[in-house]
Amino acid sequence: MSILKIARMGHPVLRAVADRVEDPHDPEIQRLIADMKETMKDAGGVGLAAPQVFVSKAIMVYFVPSLRKSDDPDDGEVPVSVLINPEIEPIGDEVVDGWEGCLSIPGLQGVVPRWNKIRYRGLNEKGDEVERIAGGFHARVVQHEYDHLIGVMYPERIEDMTLLGFNEELREYPPETTFRQTAASDDAVAHPDEP
Ligand code: NI
């Protein structure tokens, strides 16, 4: 396994719509998935999409640490998981705000609105179909990584650009603002792909 270089915002690979994976069993795909898991772990993130390692394919890896759990019954600890060719649909119309960071935008964080509850489908690394309902932080991570597969970065989702800044500054000067119920209220800085 290898630790891969992570693309930073501005690189065109992050703007492209990723290609579907034809054969999850392809040894190259299997190696990429193993490397993505290793890279996510090394970078201290909770999610990573293939375009972030310069591969424009619809693959994401993610997990939900227990400490990120919100009160949502569909939120909670998720082991390191793989989703290939994912599809997402919102359940209901509740939108929640929460802090996000991104391994491709090091040092920054912003408040991003996301669906509170989603259903997602795709293939796991064995090529089996998976379908899952996710809420809270789990739903946020999946939406953030899914966005990478359609060429969207989280700043494009931000509604209030005064809530985008450097981690250290925001820690020193927390914004005085009231969000719609945050997805990870036990953690002021809940970063989908950066701790
Ligand atoms: Ni990201």
Q: Looking at residue 7, what is its pLDDT?
A: 98
What spacing in Å lies between the alpha carbon of 102 and ligand 1's midpoint? 4
| Burial label, 126 (beta-carbon count in 10 A; 0-12, 13-18, 19+) | exposed
- What digits encode the pLDDT tens for the residues 105-157? 999 999 999 999 999 999 999 999 999 999 999 999 999 999 999 999 999 99
Q: Is the dihedral of CA 181, 187, 191, 192 positive or negative?
A: negative
What spacing in Å lies between the alpha carbon of 154 and ligand 1's midpoint? 7
Q: Looking at residue 104, what is its pLDDT?
A: 97
Q: Looking at residue 181, what is its pLDDT?
A: 52
pTM for the model stands at 0.91
> What residue type is assigned to position 57 of the chain?
K
Q: What is the CA radius of gyration of the chain?
A: 16
Q: Looking at residue 75, what is its pLDDT?
A: 86
Q: Looking at residue 183, what is its pLDDT?
A: 42
**Residues 167/108, Cβ–Cβ less than 8 Å:** yes
Q: Looking at residue 76, what is its pLDDT?
A: 85
Starting at the edge strand found earlier in the chain, the sheet holding 108-115 runs: 95-100, 108-115, 164-166
Compute the distance between CA of residue 138 and CA of residue 104 in angstroms, rounded to an integer: 20
Tokens of 39: 């890279």
Specify whether 77 is catalytic: no
What spacing in Å lies between the alpha carbon of 188 and ligand 1's midpoint? 18
Question: Which candidate in 145, 168, 172, 176 is catalytic?
Answer: 145
Residue ranges for the chain with pLDDT beneath 70 = 68-69, 178-195
Q: Looking at residue 194, what is its pLDDT?
A: 52
* Listed residue (57, 58, 139, 156) closest to 105, CA to CA: 156
Q: Looking at residue 140, what is its pLDDT?
A: 96
Average pLDDT of the chain? 90
DSSP code, position 188: S
Q: Looking at residue 79, what is its pLDDT?
A: 94
Q: Looking at residue 192, what is its pLDDT?
A: 53
Q: Looking at residue 185, what is its pLDDT?
A: 35
Q: Looking at residue 73, what is its pLDDT?
A: 84
What spacing in Å lies between the alpha carbon of 101 and ligand 1's midpoint? 7
Compute the distance between CA of residue 80 and CA of residue 61 in angstroms, rounded to an integer: 7
**CATH number among 1.10.1060.10, 3.30.1330.60, 3.90.45.10, 2.60.40.10, domain 12-172:** 3.90.45.10
**Residues 70/160, Cβ–Cβ less than 8 Å:** no
**Residues 156/98, Cβ–Cβ less than 8 Å:** no
Q: Looking at residue 74, what is its pLDDT?
A: 86
**Bridge partners of residue 49, in order along the sequence:** 60
